[in-house]
Structure 1
Amino acid sequence: MVFSACQTLKNVPEGDFLLDRVEVRAEDRPSDIAKDELARYVHQQPNGQIFFMRFHLWLYNLGKKGKETGVSGWLHRIGEPPVIYSPALTEQSVANLQIYLKGRGFYSAEVVDTAYTRRHGRMTVRYTVRFGPPTLVDSVALRIPDSLAHSYVERQWAYSQLKPGMRLDNQTLEAERSRVEGSLRNAGFYNFSADAIGFVADTLGRGHQATLTLCIPPPNATEFSDRVLRRYVIDSINIYPKAASNRSTSAVDSTWHVRTLGRVRYLYPSTPGIRLPVVARMLRLQPDSVLRLSDVNRTQSNLLTLSLYRQAQFEFREQQFAGWRSPADSLNRLYPITCNVLLHRMPVQNYQAGLMLTTSGAIGAEGSLTYTHRNLFYGAELFELRGQASVEALRKRQGLYFKTAMELGLRATLTFPQFLFVYGLNHFAQRYMPSTRLQVSWNYQRRPDYNRTLFTGGLTYAWNTGQGSSYSLTPVEVNVVKIFRIDPAFYERISRSYLAYSYISQLVSITGLNYGYQQQSSGNRLSTSTLRASVEASGNTLWAFSKLLKRKRRDGAYTVFDLPFSQFVRADLNYANKVRIDKSNAVVFRIFMGVGYPYANSEALPIEKQYYEGGANGVRAWQARDLGPGSYRDTEFAYPNQTGDIKLEANLEYRFSLFWKLEGALFVDAGNIWAISRRDLRKGAIFHFSSFYKQVAMGYGVGVRMNLGFFVLRVDSGFRLYDPYVAPNSGRTRGQFLFAERRFTTDDFVLHFGVGYPF
């Protein structure tokens, strides 16, 4: 191609070479050193690629050579200039790799570079790494003259990463420095830092063996303050619940009020602005206790969970005192220190108006107005009142005909920074940041096929256990669903099917548990994993009481306030993993599994608890609610409205940066929904383990996104690859691959507009 052969070298000077490829070959590479890790130390890397194409170099070359104004200047700014092969930088890369390998314990490692041209004007550089034998530690010793610090390090030595037989590896040494620093700071040595730790490795005349000594202070330290090895006890705690951002504790005057609560002093100018016991519950620090870093961090996290505060600032001031000894330990010298906590408040009340696109199923718009009060009862209670209105354009299956769906809603939530109605959990509150949310809402929906209202009230407990895990427990949630209008043609259609049981007025009482987990792994390729799981049950308590009281059924179901109540169990699992390959490329994978099962008092899941497939956040080659269930396709409903009891979905998306704020994506989606009940007469809708894989729809597509930082605008075009639909009397037992088994039509292409990433 003329583009690849000539245009790529357009801005490469005569006699120079474009750096086309860098290879790192490692011989005898240990399992804990990845090849990607070695590549980080190569100073010169080729121009970045997007799907095997040097897109940003191509943009740069589109501009006129030497012109930095107008369109050419813009192309040069958003593009990437060619990387010119440099022998000097190659030599520097060799030196970098050798330094790195010595730091990992391979002192006799060799790095050899080879540069050669495989194509005209392009240079490939190969780095061959020979690790050789590692240097191993045969003994470990401590050199800590301070007897107090020595005793605490020795107590925790069982957790040390320094063991005889280990490789003399800088990463292990750095991990040990961090461990010792954390151990001592959690033992009261608050001023201690990892900089106060050094290592001496004696390899003289020992071949590939070394004697390792951990030293505090480091052997080459020229200045070392004795404050680093002081162990502190909290002498007093002062809390400033109304601290001003431009004032310090020294600005407090005699007009301020002082109140003591549980040996902790609270200082404020007129009123504290919050009930002081609420702040007291958040404190892990106490007077006369050892100053531990973990207690400081936990106290700060707890205070910031109070919606009233934007910052919790800690000041520590040593007292002019030579130190005192604990009666229990003659070496346990403790130095008194004062802890001042300055709490900077957020605005107590505010209003927020919003207008945004919606993509829950079809393209639409939503307007909202939210009122927030962060201290409703002077206990950092967060009150939100939100009103919203939205409209969606629902497209008919045939042609470009649209009809609108409208939704109005009002929601009030009140969140308390503690567990309500649960007592004796003060220690739990300090560790896990619990909260209680009360919520009531009213919602009106007008869709082409029906109108309904939904009233909801519920109680939810939430808490975080740290390390990325969070939980929420909903012991009670009550939903009252009232359907006021059903389109006659729609009702005639569903009255002959299993779907009729979903479109009824009913009461839905729910008990549920949700779990969330997020983890980020550092390294050359940043990976972010997110897991969300939920399980909920409905109607069991009401059913048990109805049986116990021997209440009469109406139309085969027990009722409460003349409304039948639903009874089902439902569980969802959603896992997503994002791997950033480099600054311009990332791969995201997601899998979703969900199942709901109605029983006893219910013949079908309520509408809002059923699953649907397709749309901007599902299998994007289908409209929302237009796929499934199974191999079934509805041809009678004017608007897509297909739902099911089981949902399986997998998505793979390759994301890449284009220029400015624009990003691109290539994606593959697969999934479908299915029904459980044998009473569902839709042909091919029932889930069967032996054949469900034949009904998994597949699609692919391309997308463009505009990342504005605070939100992302998205356009995705989806194309069908495998359609699971089996027409009646066709004689087929599975769906069809497009192009190979049937022709492509306009219905096999869908364009989606979205806000935010799909997952």
Structure 2
Amino acid sequence: MRARWHVVKLPAKIGLFLVGLSFFSCNVLKRVEPDELLLTDFEVYADSVKTTNSDVQSLVSQKPNSRVLGIPLKLHLYNLAKPNPDSAYQDWLYRKENRYDRLEAILSQKQVERLGESFFVSGLSNGLKKAGEAPVVIDSSLTQKSLDRIRAYYNTKGYFNNTGSARVDTTDKQRASTRYDIDLGKPYIIDTISYRFSSPAVDSIYQLHKEESLVRSGEQFDLVNFTAERERLTDLFRNTGIWNFQESTINYDILRDTILDRDDQLMEVELNIENPRLRGGGQAPPYRVHRIDSVNIFVNYNFQDQKDSLQSITEDNFTIYYKDKLRYKPKALLNAVFLEHGQVYREIDRIRTYRQINNLNSFRYPNIELVDQGDELLTTNIYLSARPRNSLSLDLDVIHSNIQRIGIGVGAALVTRNVFGGAEMLSLNGRATFGFLSDQSLPEDFFTEISADINLIFPRIWMFSFVNAQRVIPNYMLPQSRISFGTTFQKNIGLDKQTLNLLLGYTWSPNVKTKNAFELLNIEYVRNLNPENFYNVYQSTYGRLNDIAEKDDYQSNPDLADFYEPADDPDDPQRLIIPDGTTGFTNAILTGSVPPQDPDDFGDVFRIEERRVRLTENNFIFSSNYQFTLNNQSDLNDRSFHQFRWRVETAGNILSAFAGILSLGKNEAGQNLLFGVPYSQYVKTEVEYIKHWALTATNVLAFRSFAGIAIPYGNADNIPFVRSYFAGGSNDNRAWFPYSLGPGSTDNINDFNEANFKLAFNLEYRFPIIGDLKGALFTDVGNIWNVWDQTTLDSATFSGFESLKDIAVGTGFGLRYDFSFFVFRADMGFKTYNPARIPSQRWFAEYNFANSVVQIGINYPF
């Protein structure tokens, strides 16, 4: 009850806070002088058409004070501060005679002076000013500056003869908006393009790639295209042998005076590429195509070492220099270098060498030196500094989740590099977590989890002896092979588990935007240690079974008497004993030894037992999977990007193919057994797409869509719990807690609701509030269903497009605080459309604070 009070009262307190701010600083003109105007809005018109182009909007120097839900919150905070707290304190201190002397007698001269710097005297006001925002007062010079910048922008788009004006429109008392009007005129069109190259080599290369130019005749002048073309040419020349090419030597000359008034809007452009410039001034010899001559690799190099004092070996036209002993296999080093003897120099080869050396995880950032030795030849020197062979790391975490009230995790990792001399990396990891469970109704309050794993990583594709792996996946794709074995002992919600994992997987990245991951073998064995605790853990399922067993005909049946525990009050119904009573009653109904009182009882008991068997049975999963990921985000400052992920997984096919050869046993249901456990067989695939739009310099609209399905077949009629889907939670539909939504239109009938088909869509609008405090408005849509498995409950089954009416909708708002290295997130979700209710009550029936859900998370949900 106490937790719910906090949930209900918190939004009310926030609302009262905002109302209080409005009450105490409702006059936004409080800090605006009588002869000043507060800027409330601005608009930009190009040829009488209002533009919302973000590039143009960003050029306006003065923008209105920011707003949160229509309220200028930062301006209100600023208005709450005293304008000059120091002067006000001095005025108060000397306003009455002898006040200073009395304070000095009680405190001291130094303390009286410090009192003026205290939080309540000046600190609070200074803090409010820092967190707030001064009123934006219209400044004519800044208005003119904005107009000049907008006109300059349209100059870059070919409107060289544009004109413009700016005006201030008074909208209310001491309030005004600004309007910028631009008359674009006719744009200039590129007519002819001529060329002037100082280097014959540059001329020859350009002519071969002339058709790829981004500056074309007949197109409107756009400076963006010219800038992009300069970058393209720089990449082109640096990747065709001109290793020292400088972008600054590319110039475009406009051969027509755009100020002159002419009838046509045509312009002639000349591309001019000069010779390279020397640092001291003047020009160097013309650009020439260079080839790689010698490649020298200095392992664990110290710049104080003399080259003559080092030992060396030569292999495949590479020379490796080292001191004392070479601890790396030459092939491991050579596979990381793409600058080879006799080849034309390419900048991409140099970049790939950097990336692959870093991918070895054995060296610090390398230094690659290119030396022009004349005769159009380059000497390449690669200096490598080895990381420590062994490293140990420790970590301590404090854990909180929907299941774990509080917990402490302690972990240790030991890393050994260059295990076999081929830059392999071996890591040993151990972790122990313990604490208290959130649900005190569970049979145990304490949880523990101990895990350990060993990982061996090869910087190449390993175990493909019959395939030339480098032809399929070249070394520049940063290939890695990983072998992993781990185990976990988990004691938490009563069932307790032990898991064993074995993994053989590969990863590679064709470029910086895409990544591939292929797990050839992913073997997982899950053993439930206490299956008899099922009904103690899953109280909702026990309640459904007990509701059936409470019927009079069952409680009065002498054949079932031993399955009930005596009631404290004779008038109260008896409850089934766990586990003997639940097992005995279930068997009696399903075997027919006790006739069902109601025709539906058999089906209900059958589904309950079906779920119990599924969640308590041991799982053996022998699977393979492939995942493709695309992310076109250029850097952390890029806020307009998209991500795409596709994953497919199959399990049990290899075992089924060799079932006869392996002479696998069978259980009563006809399933093949491996180590006494029916192995899982299914195919699973999922697709996820994320898109971010930067609406303004600070506001972002984020969208996520997800679809996943897992289909059992062959040796299985259901999906293992660890491979199934659930809905709800801080990264899903935030109006429901994890595992509490669905499947379908069912109303949270189980403690942990899961299914094998999922759809999810999320839309979130993110905006700043104050400083590092951000806000968000969101809509979450989705649900889970059962499809093509053993479940027979119609309300939980996806049966076609008509089942889409069971998609749940949650809306809400959230706060985020950016700590730079992570974001703390709190979201409040409201059940906007709840498919578990009757059709007439699905929309907004629970749209209130009493039924809201608060989700706590780290970092953004998508």
In the superposition, the TM-score normalised over structure 2's length comes to 0.79
Aligned counterpart, 1:691: 802
Q: Cα–Cα, structure 1 residues 531 and 281, in superposed 2: closer, same or farther, change >3 Å?
A: same
Kindly indicate whether residue 391 of structure 2 is the aligned counterpart of residue 371 of structure 1. Answer: no
Counterpart amino acid of 1:238? N
Q: Compared with structure 1, are the counterparts of its residues 528 and 362 closer, same or farther at alpha carbon in structure 2 (3 Å cutoff)?
A: farther
Aligned-pair CA distance for 1:4: 10
Q: Is the strand fraction higher in 1 or 2? A: 1
Report what 2:272 is aligned to.
215
Superposition map of 1:345-744 within 5 A? 345-358=386-399, 361-363=402-404, 364-365=406-407, 366-391=409-434, 395-396=438-439, 403-422=445-464, 423-427=467-471, 428-486=473-531, 487-489=533-535, 490=538, 492=582, 496-498=609-611, 500-520=613-633, 526-546=639-659, 553-555=666-668, 556-635=670-749, 640-677=751-788, 679-682=790-793, 684-726=795-837, 732-733=838-839, 736-738=842-844, 741=845, 744=848
Q: Report how many residues are paired.
A: 728
Once the two structures are superposed, residues 367-394 of structure 1 have per-residue CA deviations (whole angstroms, 9 ceiling, x without a partner) of 3222222322232222222222335765
1:58 to 67, 71, 76: 76
SS at match of 1:571: strand
Q: Would you say 1:290 and 2:344 are equivalent positions?
A: yes
CA drift of 1:483 comes to 1.6
The answer on whether the counterparts of 1:526 and 1:581 sit within 8 Å (CA) in structure 2 is no
CA contact (8 A) 1:26 1:128 kept: yes
**Cα distance in 2 for residues equivalent to 1:150 and 1:536:** 52
Between Structure 1 and Structure 2, the one with more helix by share is 2
SS at match of 1:478: strand
Give, in angstroms, the shift of residue 452 of structure 1. Answer: 1.7
Which residue number corresponds to residue 16 of structure 2? none
Q: Distance in 2 between matches of 1:412 and 1:59?
A: 55
Matches within 5 A, 1:143-292: 143-204=196-257, 207-217=264-274, 224-227=282-285, 229-244=287-302, 247=303, 251-292=305-346
CA displacement 1:618-643 (0-9 Å, x = unmatched): 222222111111111245x5xx2111
Q: Give yes or no for contact 2:460–2:475 (8 Å, CA) kept in 1.
A: no
In 2, Cα distance between the equivalents of 1:419 and 1:219?
42
Shift of 1:469: 0.7
SS of corresponding position for 1:182: helix
Deviations 1:430-471 (A, max 9, x none): 331111011111112234351221101011011001141100
The letter of the residue matching 1:622 is: W
- CA distance in 1 between partners of 2:490 and 2:275 (Å): 70
Per-residue displacement from partner, 1:171-220 (whole Å, max 9, x unpaired)?
A: 11111111111111111111112210111222256731111110112999
For residue 519 of structure 2, what is the amino acid of its counterpart?
A: T
Output the CA distance in 1 between the equivalents of 2:705 and 2:793.
26
Percent identical pairs in the alignment equals 25
Q: Does residue 856 of structure 2 align to residue 750 of structure 1?
A: no
- 2:401 and 2:331 map into 1 onto residues whose CA distance is 43
Instruction: Give the match for residue 41 of structure 2.
Output: 21
Distance 1:626 1:594 in 2: 18
Matches within 5 A, 1:129-148: 129-148=182-201
- Asked if 2 retains the 8 angstrom alpha-carbon contact of 1:191 and 1:230, the reply is no
Deviation at 1:609, TM superposition (A): 0.3
Please state how far the C-alpha of 1:300 moved relative to its aligned partner. Answer: 1.2
1:336 and 1:218 map into 2 onto residues whose CA distance is: 19
Partner residue in 1 for 2:13:
none
CA distance in 2, matches of 1:407, 1:653: 35
Contact 1:17 1:85 in 2 (8 A): yes
> Is residue 694–residue 735 contact of structure 1 (8 Å, CA) maintained in 2?
no
Amino acid at match of 1:261: E
Change (3 A) 1:678 1:269: closer
Describe the shift of the 1:755–1:169 C-alpha distance in structure 2 as closer, same or farther (beyond 3 A): closer
One-letter amino acid of the counterpart of residue 61, structure 1:
N
Q: Report the CA distance shift for 1:262/1:374 in structure 2 as closer, same or farther (over 3 A).
A: same
CA distance 1:583–1:590, shift in 2 (3 Å): same
Give secondary structure in 2 for the equivalent of 1:77. Answer: helix
Q: Could you say if the C-alpha distance between residues 4 and 722 of structure 1 is closer, same or farther in structure 2, counting changes exceeding 3 Å?
A: farther
Deviation at 1:720, TM superposition (A): 2.1
For each residue in 1:401-453, what CA deviation from the matched residue of structure 2 results, as whole angstroms up to 9, or x when unmatched?
99555432212211110000124233533331111011111112234351221
Report what 2:104 is aligned to: none
Shift in alpha-carbon separation, 1:438–1:29, aligned structure 2, 3 A:
farther
1:281 Cα deviation from its structure 2 partner? 0.4
- Pick closer, same or farther for the CA change 1:502–1:523 going to 2, 3 Å: closer
Deviations 1:502-539 (A, max 9, x none): 43113110010011111127999831322222110100
Cα deviation, 1:320-367, whole Å, max 9, x if unaligned, reads x3x3xxxxxxxxxxx222211122333332222223355675455433
> What's the TM-score, normalizing by structure 1?
0.89
How far apart, in 2, do the equivalents of 1:519 and 1:207 lie? Answer: 41
SS in 1 for 2:616: coil
Q: Please name the residue that 1:40 is paired with.
A: 58
CA distance in 2 between partners of 1:572 and 1:360 (Å)? 26
Relative to 1, partners in 2 of residues 1:733 and 1:16: Cα closer, same or farther, differing over 3 Å? closer
Shift of the 463–210 alpha-carbon distance from structure 1 to 2, 3 Å rule, reads same
The whole-number CA distance in structure 2 between the counterparts of 1:382 and 1:119 is 70
- One-letter amino acid of the structure 2 residue matched with residue 203 of structure 1: R
Q: Aligned equivalents of 2:138 and 2:221: distance in 1?
A: 35
Deviations 1:469-491 (A, max 9, x none): 10011111111121221215257
- Note if contact 2:412-2:431 (Cα within 8 Å) is conserved in structure 1: yes
- Deviation of 1:5 (Å): 8.5
Q: CA deviation at 1:691?
A: 2.9
Inter-partner Cα distance in structure 2 for 1:131 and 1:8? 37
Structure 1 distance, partners of 2:686, 2:184, is 48
Moved more, 514-523 or 640-649: 514-523
Which blocks of at least 5 consecutive residues in structure 1 are unaligned? Answer: 324-334, 727-731
Q: Is the 8 A contact 2:808 2:835 kept in 1?
A: yes
> What residue identity is the alignment partner of 2:240?
A
Contact 1:534 1:573 in 2 (8 A): yes
Assess if the C-alpha contact under 8 Å between 1:359 and 1:755 holds in 2: no
Once residues 390 and 350 of structure 2 are traced to their aligned partners in structure 1, the CA distance between those partners, rounded to angstroms, is 29
Q: Any conservation in 1 of the 2:734–2:810 contact (CA below 8 Å)?
A: yes
Q: 2 CA distance for matches of 1:223 and 1:208?
A: 38
CA distance in structure 2 between the partners assigned to 1:396 and 1:752 by the alignment: 17
The answer to whether structure 1 residue 121 and structure 2 residue 190 are counterparts is no
| Contact persistence 1:387–1:411 (CA under 8 A) | yes
Of the structure 1 ranges 496-505 and 125-134, higher mean CA displacement relative to structure 2 is found in 496-505
- Amino acid corresponding to residue 781 of structure 2 in structure 1: A
Counterpart contact for 1:569–1:597, Cα < 8 Å: yes
Q: Which has the larger radius of gyration?
A: 2
SS at match of 1:42: coil
